[in-house]
């Protein structure tokens, strides 16, 4: 079964191809083998996976393409690594016709896209996402960047890939925690856009967690369509794209506080969604029964519903005020108001936010 989703951006349009095992006969091999100036950016973990027999079909496609390997982990998504990649490209005398290939999860996709956007004022790149989170979200839409010690993704650019190739077979090589992490972004899409999809997730969650092909392909295709629609109508986050930040203001605070990579992104997003939903309840915008359904779905996926025990409400607030979504020193937060509908708010007092965070951390659930 093969799906194709188009991201329509006029001259910057591209397709998302969704497979179970990319075949030599598909366009992926044509693109890469015919381009003698391709460079693969990946990490040491994925590089080892590609060398196993299970992924011989990938290895055969890319075996003659130069590879630049970085260390695995969010903590390596920084300007120091960007400089190393650029040094490699310059040292090998790659010019503006080089094509970069991001082979990995969100970290690899973000850093490769960022390098592509600034190397000799911009070169082409492709995404081959290998984690569930990257396949449903991070590889699509052209957000690129690296972290700063004072904030996540604070240095970056918008730079669209030339294509995205999603092979669900990569997910079989992932630790379970990374599958669970990706589920958070899937649930996020359902809360934002589609009540029926949320109900479908309630009924099919364990099939996705167990990587059953039919449900997994359907789910990834669904999320890619949501993302493609958003990008088409708001490429640079001036309007509806901001809705995709549901839970992310809280989540980025957790990731920055704990040190990048200590909390998986999806785990932090899960806690952020709970806090955003509870804020909506406290503002009398979200029915409490819907709140419990959201929390229960996250919990059933194996995701955390409370933040780090040692992180105080004041510490959330300090870091959230540094977030990219803050404008004119006013925090903007996305909150759910029903299943399939969210709202952007910007007039919540600090005392209300502190109270919401405190209550979320102390709340007892009976699932």
pLDDT, tens only, 296-326: 999 999 999 999 999 999 999 999 988 766 7
What mean pLDDT, rounded, does the chain reach?
Answer: 93
Residue 327 — pLDDT band, cuts 50, 70, 90? Answer: low
Burial class (CB in 10 A: 0-12, 13-18, 19+), 356: buried
185 is in an annotated binding site: yes
213 is in an annotated binding site: no
Nearest to 254 by CA among 267, 244, 242: 267
Query: Tell me, which fold does domain 199-362 have in CATH?
Result: Dehydroquinate synthase-like, alpha domain (1.20.1090)
Residue 272, CB half-sphere, CA atoms under 13 Å: how many? 29
233 is in an annotated binding site: no
Residue 196 — pLDDT band, cuts 50, 70, 90? Answer: very high
Kindly report, residue by residue over 254-304, the tens digit of the pLDDT: 999 999 889 999 999 999 999 999 999 999 999 999 999 999 999 999 999
> Which residue carries 């992926």 as its tokens?
28
Kindly report, residue by residue over 166-190, the tens digit of the pLDDT: 999 999 999 999 999 999 999 999 9
Percentage of the chain modeled with pLDDT above 90: 83
110 is in an annotated binding site: yes
178 is in an annotated binding site: no
Residue 28 — pLDDT band, cuts 50, 70, 90? Answer: low
Nearest to 273 by CA among 305, 247, 254, 235: 247
Residue 53 — pLDDT band, cuts 50, 70, 90? Answer: confident
Kindly report, residue by residue over 112-168, the tens digit of the pLDDT: 999 999 999 999 999 999 999 999 999 999 999 999 988 889 999 999 999 999 999
Report pLDDT for 31: 63
Output the DSSP codes for 13-53.
Answer: -EEEEEESS--TTSHHHHHHHT-TTEEEEEEHHHHHHHTSG
Report pLDDT for 33: 56
Q: Which residues contact 184 (CB under 8 A, 6 or more apart)?
A: 133, 247, 265, 266, 267, 269, 270, 273, 298, 301, 303
Report pLDDT for 322: 82
What are the residue ranges of CATH 3.40.50.1970 in the chain? 3-173
Domain 3-173 belongs to what architecture? Answer: 3-Layer(aba) Sandwich (3.40)
323 is in an annotated binding site: no
131 is in an annotated binding site: yes
- What average pLDDT does this structure show over 75-97? 97
Cβ burial 196-215 (10 Å sphere, 16+ → b, else e): ebbebbeebbeebbeeeeeb
42/67 Cα distance (integer angstroms): 7
pLDDT at 358 over 70: yes
342 is in an annotated binding site: no
Residue 23 — pLDDT band, cuts 50, 70, 90? Answer: low
pLDDT at 1 over 90: no
- What average pLDDT does this structure show over 347-359? 94
- What average pLDDT does this structure show over 35-53? 89
DSSP structure class, residue 258: H
261 is in an annotated binding site: no
Residue 27 — pLDDT band, cuts 50, 70, 90? Answer: low
76 is in an annotated binding site: yes
- CA–CA distances in Å: residue 303 to residues 148, 179, 263, 273, 300: 26, 10, 11, 11, 7
Task: Enumerate the active-site residues.
Answer: 121, 143, 185, 227, 237, 241, 245, 248, 252, 265
Output the DSSP codes for 209-257.
Answer: HTT-HHHHHHHHHHHHHHHHHHHHH-TTSSSGGGGGGTTHHHHHHHHHH
- CA–CA distances in Å: residue 175 to residues 133, 181, 184, 256: 13, 10, 16, 23
Percentage of the chain modeled with pLDDT above 70: 95
pLDDT at 56 over 90: no
Q: Which residue has the higher pLDDT, 35 or 237?
A: 237
- What average pLDDT does this structure show over 345-351? 90
pLDDT at 25 over 60: no
Give me the long-range contacts of 198-207 (CB less than 8 A, separation at least 24).
198/293, 198/297, 198/339, 198/340, 201/297, 202/293, 202/297, 205/297, 205/300, 205/301
Q: What is the pTM of this model?
A: 0.94
């Amino acid at each position: 079964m093969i799906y194709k989703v188009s991201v329509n951006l006029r001259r910057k349009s591209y397709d998302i191809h969704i497979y179970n095992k990319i075949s030599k006969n598909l366009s992926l091999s044509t693109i890469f083998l015919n381009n003698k100036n391709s460079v693969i950016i990946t990490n040491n973990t994925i590089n080892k996976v590609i060398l196993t027999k299970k992924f011989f079909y990938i290895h055969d496609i890319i075996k003659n393409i130069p590879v630049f390997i970085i260390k695995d982990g969010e903590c390596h998504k920084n300007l120091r690594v960007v400089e190393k990649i650029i040094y490699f490209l310059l040292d090998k005398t790659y010019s503006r016709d080089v094509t970069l290939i991001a082979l990995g999860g969100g970290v690899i996709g973000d850093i490769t896209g960022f390098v592509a956007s600034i190397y000799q004022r911009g070169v082409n790149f492709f995404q081959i996402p290998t984690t569930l989170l990257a396949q449903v979200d991070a590889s699509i839409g052209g957000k690129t960047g690296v972290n700063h010690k004072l904030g996540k993704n604070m240095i970056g650019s918008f730079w669209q890939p030339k294509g995205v190739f999603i092979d669900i077979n990569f997910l079989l090589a992932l630790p379970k925690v990374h599958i669970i992490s990706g589920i958070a972004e899937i649930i996020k899409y359902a809360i934002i856009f589609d009540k029926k999809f949320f109900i479908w997730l309630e009924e099919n969650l364990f099939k996705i967690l167990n990587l059953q092909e039919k449900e997994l392909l359907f789910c990834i295709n669904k999320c890619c369509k949501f993302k493609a629609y958003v990008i088409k109508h708001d490429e640079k986050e001036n309007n509806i794209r901001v809705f995709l930040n549901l839970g992310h203001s809280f989540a980025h605070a957790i990731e920055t506080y704990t040190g990048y990579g200590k909390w998986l992104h999806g785990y932090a997003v899960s806690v952020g969604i709970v806090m955003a939903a509870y804020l909506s309840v406290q503002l009398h915008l979200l029915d409490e029964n819907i709140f419990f359904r959201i929390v229960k779905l996250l919990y059933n996926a194996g995701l955390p519903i409370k933040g780090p025990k040692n992180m105080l409400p004041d510490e959330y607030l300090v870091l959230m005020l540094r977030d990219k979504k803050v404008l004119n020193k006013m925090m903007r937060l996305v909150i759910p108001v029903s299943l399939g509908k969210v709202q952007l708010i910007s007039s919540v007092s600090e005392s209300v936010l502190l109270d919401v965070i405190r209550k979320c951390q102390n709340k007892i659930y009976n699932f």
